[in-house]
Amino acid sequence: MLKGIPQILSPELLKTLCEMGHSDTLIIADGNFPAESMGKGAKVIRMDGHGVPEVLEAILKVMPLDTYVEKSVNLMEVMPGDPVETPIWDVYKEIVSTYDMRGSKTVGNIERFAFYEEAKKAYLIIATSEKALYANILLQKGVVVE
């Protein structure tokens, strides 16, 4: 065990986050996301039994977001005509605001199929058991400055 590290972050996940460099991306995926097929070129880590918000918060405690891009956090847009509400996005924006001074201004949206293309290029995909629909989130790693 280590001090100051959220217990939800496994040794495998911590190692992978450390391996990531500036501008590498990761996806925290909901339970419906095709993590294994999208992540053929990425590291896929399963976090069954956990939801996206708790994983997001733990990661942002140890990993900075990219400040060299306008939107270092991106959400999968709801398909036109899909009658889905996304209150979880407000939760994400609140969490991001706690760890990044830009707050919700750094959170953008990516069309569903464009999001899948970005996922195929991600360094890491974290598969959760999140039940909310359109709860996938893409993070772009920044530079650690201390």
Residues 45 and 66: their CA atoms lie apart, in Å, by 22
Is 26:125 a contact under the CB 8 Å cutoff?
yes
Catalytically active residues are 22, 66, 116
The beta strand positions in 7-120, using DSSP E, are: 25-29, 43-47, 73-76, 107-110
Residue 17 is which amino acid? L
